[in-house]
Amino acid sequence: MKKISMLAAALLCLGISAFAQQRPAPEQLPEYKFTTVKAAPITSIKNQASSGTCWSFSAISFLESEAIRLCNIKDEAKYPDFSEFFVVSNSYKERAEKYVRLDGKLGFSAGSGAGDVFDVVRNHGIVPNEFMTGMNYGTSLPQQAEMDAVLAAYVEAVSKTRGKLSTAWKRGFDAVVDEYLGKAPETFVVDGKTYTPASYRDAMKINPDDYVELTSFTHHPFYTWFALEVCDNWRSSLSYNVPIDELMAVVDNALENGYTICWGADVSHNGFTRGGHAILVDEEATMAGSDQERWVGKIEGKPATIKIVEGTPTQESRQIEFDNKTMTDDHGMHIFGIAQDQDGKKYYMVKNSWGETGVYKGIWYATEAFVKAQTLDITVHKSALTKDLKKKLGVK
């Protein structure tokens, strides 16, 4: 999954002018007041900036919250800060090898998925961010267009080589990654103790085999495993397919019991605003302005507000959107809590990786309808599953 551009634009302000194809500006939404109902601890908001690495930022944020929970860390000053680019580096190196083995018949880009992160953590471990920030090319925030282009051109050239490959190509590729992102440390010291990436992962009580990825689509049988057919799932990571209502029950069960959720979603829907809201806007029923504004115009130059009407997602509507490509793997985020608005409506609290932006400084509030409609997959600790799914999966 990769960050998409926010094509935010103001609505036309007069009459019933079109909502369609434009995102509402924050000042055009109703004035929301959110109250937290339940929230698990999260680490600080990060900024993936100009990099397509939301998949790493979201899953690493999720694992940081898992480490807080598993290690029972109470002091915020001692919350872990794991390196996203240790994961990105290893992912790129392993993807290059597979790309060449498949003669270039594999997607090769900055995008990936949560399953990739868990494979890297399983195979290589975890590194604190201070020992591998990924900022090895002269900027303070990720700016990776050059690196992405260089790496893609490199593997494309190698994959087209006829005859025996050199013994140098892989070393050369790895060296380029290391120059951009920094070389991963073999050992490091935390609180006076020396760790390897693998031993640090274990000290943080992270076991990648304890996590389950769920999805919900009808083109595969329910209660079976399959690899979600999106280009970024280059490892063919498996998801367990369940009806969407059961997936939503897992979301609620997890949050109500102190767990968090790694969330893969489509954020191209116009209801995902730049201000920090994720609402499943029914574009045909939603319009700008009050009835008074429709007939006599805006009052005192104030921008028109939007009368929001939400759609009603179904299993069938999800499948239609997945099949026609209006719902795909745009973005990875981290769901960590439940909130209510001033009218008592339920929202999920979402940690994003676009810096402290928007009305809520990097936090988004997503309605149940939005999450139900736009979720590609979720990853949770196996203990956060509902009793029924634990039984189906043989989880104790």
Task: Copy the structure tokens of residue 359.
Answer: 């009305």
pLDDT for the residue 283: 72
Residues 158-176, mean pLDDT to the nearest whole number: 96
Of 392 and 297, the one with more pLDDT: 392
Listed in order, strand segments (DSSP E) in 256-316 are: 261-265, 277-278, 287-288, 306-307
Q: Domain coordinates of the chain in residue numbers?
A: 26-393
Question: Residue for token digits 């009218």?
Answer: 343
Residues 259-265, mean pLDDT to the nearest whole number: 98
CATH topology of domain 26-393: Cathepsin B; Chain A (3.90.70)
d(CA 105, CA 230): 14
Average pLDDT along the chain: 90
Model confidence at 48, in pLDDT bands (50, 70, 90)? very high
Residues 1-20, mean pLDDT to the nearest whole number: 36
Query: Which residues contact residue 19 at a Cβ distance below 8 angstroms, ignoring those fewer than 6 apart?
Result: 11, 270, 281, 283, 286, 287, 288, 306
The percent of residues above 90 in pLDDT, for the chain, comes to 82
- Going from the C-alpha of 40 to that of each of 62, 69, 282, the distances in angstroms are 11, 9, 31
d(CA 17, CA 255): 39
HSE at residue 220, side-chain half, CA atoms within 13 A, is 17
The length of the chain is 396
d(CA 83, CA 73): 19
Model confidence at 116, in pLDDT bands (50, 70, 90)? very high
What is the value of pTM for the model shown?
0.90
The DSSP string of 93-152 is: HHHHHHHHHTTT-S--SS---HHHHHHHHHHH---BGGG--S--SS-SS-B-HHHHHHHH
Q: For Cα atoms 109, 239, 268, give the angle at the middle one, nearest 5 degrees.
A: 50
The percent of residues above 70 in pLDDT, for the chain, comes to 87
Model confidence at 10, in pLDDT bands (50, 70, 90)? very low
- Tens of pLDDT along 174-207? 999 999 999 999 999 999 999 999 999 999 999 9
Residue 211's φ and ψ, nearest 5 degrees, are -115, 145
d(CA 44, CA 76): 10
Q: Report the range of poorest mean pLDDT among 122-131, 210-219, 322-331, 333-342.
A: 322-331
d(CA 199, CA 115): 21
Cβ proximity of 157 and 165 under 8 Å: no
pLDDT for the residue 25: 65
Query: Which of 334, 343, 389, 322 is closest to 366 using CA atoms?
Result: 334
Q: Which helix (H) or strand (E) holds 350?
A: strand 346-351
d(CA 80, CA 193): 15
pLDDT for the residue 19: 39
